[in-house]
């Protein structure tokens, strides 16, 4: 009696170069191996992505939410910003930079970080009179202020080495270095470089 193949047709003598049943079994086993390899590859990709995200957040970029109006109109309540934590490893802190820094010891704990603009640099003497800011006795142009915004009188204040005098752009409502003093360099987290929300205001800062 002739043997019957899986198709139902008579099958001739099997040869070493044509093992039909072996081929069928081989292809059947390969499929789960490919699926398993695919899952492993995706798990590795996801794990690497998570690690990269954690490292980037911890050492490079971090996002913040603006809760108050102290930096209006540059930063509005509800804005979401990106801070470059390595920016000042590559260039010095300059007047006009917007920075995030850790709260002063006297500040309420519900605000662990603050955002202000750098106005005075280490070693300078800063003061305000007649609504204007003076650095070492010279009038400081402040193009970042809205028309009509003035600065209440203070100083003169000598800024210690390694510290920075910061103020909000909305001077009448901003609690800043006029109240808690200059900010040490070690407490500055990084530079505000981008606004990503709301979409109508997305862009560099």
Sequence-separated (6 or more) residues with CB below 8 Å from residue 128 = 134, 151, 152, 153, 154, 155
3-class SS of residue 127: strand
- Exactly one of 26, 85, 109, 116 is catalytic; which is it? 116
Q: Which of 7, 27, 35, 70 is catalytic?
A: 70
Q: What is the CA radius of gyration of the chain?
A: 32
- Angle ∠(58,74,187) on CA atoms, nearest 5: 35
Phi, psi (rounded to 5 degrees) for 48: -65, -40
Task: Assess contact for 163 and 60: CB atoms under 8 A.
Answer: no
Asked about 116 being catalytic, the answer comes back as yes
CA-to-CA dists, residue 57 to 3, 11, 48, 86, angstroms: 68, 66, 14, 11
Is 127 a residue of the active site? no
Q: Tell me the catalytic residues.
A: 70, 116
């Amino acid at each position: 009696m002739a043997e019957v193949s899986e198709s139902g047709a008579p099958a001739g003598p099997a040869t070493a170069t044509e093992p039909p049943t072996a081929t069928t079994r081989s292809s059947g086993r390969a499929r789960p191996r490919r699926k398993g390899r695919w899952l492993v590859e995706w798990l590795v990709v996801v794990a690497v992505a998570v690690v990269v995200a954690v490292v980037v957040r911890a050492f490079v970029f971090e996002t913040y939410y603006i809760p108050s109006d102290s930096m209006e109109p540059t930063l509005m309540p509800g804005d979401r910003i990106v801070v470059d934590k390595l920016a000042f490893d590559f260039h010095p802190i300059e007047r006009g930079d917007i920075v995030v820094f850790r709260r002063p010891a006297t500040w309420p704990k519900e605000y662990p970080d603050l955002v202000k603009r750098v106005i005075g640099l280490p070693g300078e003497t800063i003061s305000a009179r007649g609504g204007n800011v003076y650095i070492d006795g010279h009038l400081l142009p402040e193009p970042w202020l809205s028309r009509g915004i003035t600065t209440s009188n203070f100083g003169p204040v000598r800024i210690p080495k390694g510290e920075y005098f910061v103020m909000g752009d909305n001077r009448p409502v901003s609690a800043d270095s006029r109240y808690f003093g200059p900010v040490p360099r070690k407490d500055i987290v990084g530079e505000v470089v981008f606004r990503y929300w709301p979409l109508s205001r997305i862009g560099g800062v």
